[in-house]
Amino acid sequence: MNSNKGPVLVIGATGQQGRATTAQLLERDWEVHAFVRDLAAPAAGALRDSGANLIEGDLDDPDSVRAAMDGAYGVFMMLTMMTGVHITPAGIEAEQRRGKAMADLAKASGIEHLVYSSLKGANENSGIEYYAAKTAIEAHIESLELPATVLRPVFFMDNFNAFNRPIVDENGELVLNLAVRADIPVSLVSVHDIGAFAAIAFDHPDDYLHRAVPLAGDRLTPPEIAETFGRVAGLPARSNQVPIEQVRAFDEQVAKMFAYFNDRPDEPIDTATLRKDHPGLHTLESWLHASNWKA
C-alpha cells in the first residue's frame, strides 16, 4: 500500500471518468488537485464541494499545466476526442497532441506515477482513427519511460444512459437499439469502476506500474443486455440491430467502432482477477441496481 497520498492531479476532472476517479481517490484519503478550465463552472464547484482542490488551466497552455504538476506525486489523465457530441478529425488530432504534451510535461516535472485512461482496442491495428490516437499516446508514454499505468476500459455501461439508452415502444416493450450483431458478446464496464481502478493503481504502484490493464465487469450479447434491462425494469425486452449505415450518418468514427465490434469480437477479459483487487466490480445488473436505473 502506498503511504504517499498525493497530491494527484486529475486531468479531465469534470468528465465522467475524472469525477469518478476524484471521488475514489478522496474516499481513499488522497489529496486531489482537479485541473479545470473554469473555476466558476458548476461541475468545478461540485468537485470543490466534494473535497478536491481546484487548479485552473488549459491543456493548450503548457505553462498552466506545468504549474499544476509542480509538486504533484501523480497524474490521472483522461482526454477526449469529442467536439460537441461528435468525434471529429480536429478532436482526434487535439487529443493526440495534448496527450503527448501532457506526457512530456509529466516527465519534465518528475511525476512518480501517471495513470492514463486509454481504451481496449488500442494497439490492435483497428483502423479506427480515434483508437490510433490513443495508441500513439500510449507509445509516447512508453518511449519516455514514464512510471505509468495504462487503463484500457471497454464499452461503458454508462452509455446506456445516453445515446444507447433502451426505450419503451408503443407496446410497452423495452427495446435496446445497438449496432452489434445478436451473436456478438460486448464487454462492458462502469465508469465508477474505471475510477476505482485508477485509485487502486495509485494505492498499489508496485502492482500496477508499467502495466496496461484491460477493464471489464461483464460480457453479454445484445439480447442478453436487453434481457438484463428488462429483468431489472420489470418489462418485456428485446434487442434490435441498428444498421451501421444509420450510425455512420450520425458519426463516422462510432460507426467504425461498431463495425470493428462485429468483425473482430473481443476476447473475454479476466474479470475474476480484477475482482480480487476490486470486489465491487459491477456486472451490468449490479450497475443498473446501483444507479437506480428506470425505463
Residue 238 CA to residue 53 CA, distance in Å, equals: 45
Instruction: Give the separation between CA 18 and CA 12, rounded to whole angstroms.
Output: 5
Helix (H, G, I), strand (E, B) or coil at 161: helix
Q: How far apart, in whole angstroms, are the C-alpha atoms of residue 211 and residue 198?
A: 12
Residue 266 is predicted with a pLDDT of 85
Task: State what percent of residues in the chain have pLDDT above 70.
Answer: 100
Q: What is the 3-state secondary structure (H, E, C) of 87-115?
A: ECHHHHHHHHHHHHHHHHHHHHHCCCEEE
How wide is the angle at C-alpha 21 spanned by C-alphas 18 and 25, nearest 5°? 140
66's enclosing H/E stretch is: helix 62-69
Q: For 122-278, where are the alpha helices, taking DSSP H only? A: 129-143, 191-203, 205-208, 222-233, 244-250, 252-263, 271-277
Which amino acid is residue 165, in one-letter code? R
Residue 188, beta-bridge partner list:
155, 218
CA distance 176 to 256: 20
User: Residue 82: what pLDDT?
Assistant: 86
Phi, psi of 136 (to 5 degrees): -65, -40
State phi, psi for 214 to the nearest 5 degrees. -70, 140
Mean pLDDT in the chain?
A: 96
63-76 average pLDDT score: 98
State the average pLDDT over residues 66-76.
98
| Residue 73 pLDDT grade (very low, low, confident, very high; cuts 50, 70, 90) | very high
Place of cell 473475454: 268
- The pLDDT assigned to 47 comes to 98
CA 94/CA 81 separation, integer angstroms = 7
Does the structural domain 8-154+190-216+267-281 have CATH classification 3.30.420.40?
no
pTM score, two decimals? 0.96
Note the pLDDT tens digit of each residue in 198-234. 999 999 999 999 999 999 999 999 999 999 999 999 9
Phi, psi dihedrals of residue 251, rounded to the nearest 5°: -160, 120
**Which amino acid is present at 295?**
A
- Could you report the per-residue pLDDT of 155-181, keeping only the tens digit for each? 999 999 988 999 999 999 999 999 999
C-alpha R_g of the chain: 19
